[in-house]
Amino acid sequence: MTDVFSDLKARGLVAVSTDETALQTALDEESLTYYVGFDPTAPSLHMGNLVQLITASRLQQAGHNPLALVGGATGLIGDPRMSGERTLNPREIVEEWVGKIRAQVERFLDFTGPNAAQVVNNYDWTSEISAIDFLRDIGKHFPVNRMLAKESVSARLKNESGLSFTEFSYQVLQGNDYLELYRRYGCTLQTGGSDQWGNLTSGVDLIRRVEATSVHAMATPLITKADGTKFGKTESGTVWLDASLTSPYAFSQFWLNADDRDVMKYLKVFSFRPLEELEAIGAEFEAAPHTRLAQKVLAEDVTTLVHGREQYDQAIAAAAALFGGGELTSLDPATLGAATAELPRGEVPAASLGAGVPVADAFVTAGIVKSKGEARRAIKDGGAYVNNVKVTGEEQTLTADDVLDTAGGGVVLLRRGKKTLGAVDIVG
């Protein structure tokens, strides 16, 4: 790729930048060292971080040199939030999260070759500087009036909770990170989300004041959803990149359920396919949106990127199996558990399976029907299924042979008609 900046713009990945002409020229004419930072404020990165990881990867593929900063120091402080003061996490927890996030970051960048990536931790240099030196050498270059103008700062000052000096100092710490990376690695570009623009430019301004030179910053837009809900959130919470927090099945379902109005925008941001190929996919999708071609491509590309091909294939097999398109017994317990986790469900004591639990009772317990009479009618009409096998008699029961193994225990899948799913967990 010879014009990565134009490609980023065409994909909707440039919200704002410092001198655009100078940045594009620098990206076209030399191999820049650039950095993006991730604070360990949780045990995993999430969907918003994925935008930054992919942007960093695109820049590396274009021949530039990435520094992935894991904020062991800034993670102890936390960037000011609009909603109120952060709870400071214990040092040992932050240190543990640094290791987890470092491992996640390393999956998205190439650490070999002429423009090999490096992971750095801002605790390494921040911990070495005294408070007096920090205030004298760094703090004196930050005009308070400009710091107060930052959106998150001004918003917090207007509400009752106010803003502690600890969080107020965050932008000084991040500005110092850019200065240190400029001095240590010749870093001349920082990327991040547009909500971080004030922090990004604080480093640009600090380097201008201290080193009398110009460097660059580029911010990606915040990804939004057409229905007004927050991107990267589901009814069950945040979509994480850690498979133990958001299963590959749930992760793939998030993309498969993308709104038709959003899906092509997401493909440009999250897929590495060439724009020409995406345009062809978009035209085919527009002609036949019921096929959900764009959502399928999106789910395949992003799930494979984050979790690998095997996990993606398992997730797709699980989705098909839930509705009778495959063998439930062929799924590994973890995938089956993840696939049934969001279904309406109830509990059946394991001890009751010896005598047999009426299927009609199980349907009521799972919340698929409201009454035994309704369950019996579904059975009589041929629309009731246990583990995708049609129930043939109103007196049929569940037994131990019907229990499927999941990572969390046993489950029986129930279905009414083609689309109404539920489950009963076998407990005790």
For 179-221, how does the pLDDT look when each residue is reduced to its tens digit (9 = 90+)?
Answer: 999 999 999 999 999 989 999 999 999 999 999 999 999 999 9
Annotated binding site: 35, 170, 174, 233
Rounded to an integer, the average pLDDT of 245-268 is 95
Four-way CATH pick for 343-427: 3.30.750.200, 3.40.50.300, 3.10.290.10, 3.90.550.10: 3.10.290.10
Q: Return d(Cα 421, Cα 417) in angstroms, integer.
A: 9
Flag whether pLDDT at 14 surpasses 80: yes
Kindly tell me the burial class for residue 374, based on how many C-beta atoms sit within 10 Å of its own C-beta (0-12, 13-18, 19 or more).
middle
For 41-81, how does the pLDDT look when each residue is reduced to its tens digit (9 = 90+)?
Answer: 999 999 999 999 999 999 999 999 999 999 999 999 888 77
Query: How confident is the model at residue 46, as a pLDDT?
Result: 95
pLDDT tier at 130, thresholds 50, 70, 90? very high
Q: Nearest Cα to 372, choosing from 351, 357, 389?
A: 357
**Domain over 223-326 is classified CATH 3.40.50.300:** no
Annotated binding site for ATP: 233
CA max distance for the chain:
84
Domain ranges (residues) in the chain: 4-222, 223-326, 343-427
Flag whether pLDDT at 83 surpasses 80: no
Flag whether pLDDT at 152 surpasses 80: no
Average pLDDT, the chain: 92
Q: What value does the CA radius of gyration of the chain take, rounded to a whole number of Å?
A: 26
Q: What is the CATH superfamily name and number for domain 4-222? A: HUPs (3.40.50.620)
pLDDT tier at 1, thresholds 50, 70, 90? very low
Q: Return d(Cα 56, Cα 191) in angstroms, integer.
A: 8
Annotated binding site for L-tyrosine: 35, 170, 174
- Listing DSSP states for 311-326 in one string gives HHHHHHHHHHHHTTSS
For 325-349, how does the pLDDT look when each residue is reduced to its tens digit (9 = 90+)?
Answer: 878 888 889 889 988 888 899 999 9
Share of the chain above pLDDT 70, in %: 99
Looking at 262-385, list the stretches that DSSP marks H as alpha helix, in order from N- to C-terminal side: 263-270, 275-287, 293-307, 309-322, 333-340, 359-366, 372-380
Query: How confident is the model at residue 2, as a pLDDT?
Result: 63
Q: Nearest Cα to 191, choosing from 302, 371, 367, 69?
A: 69
pTM score: 0.89
Q: What are phi and psi of 236, to 5 degrees?
A: -90, 0
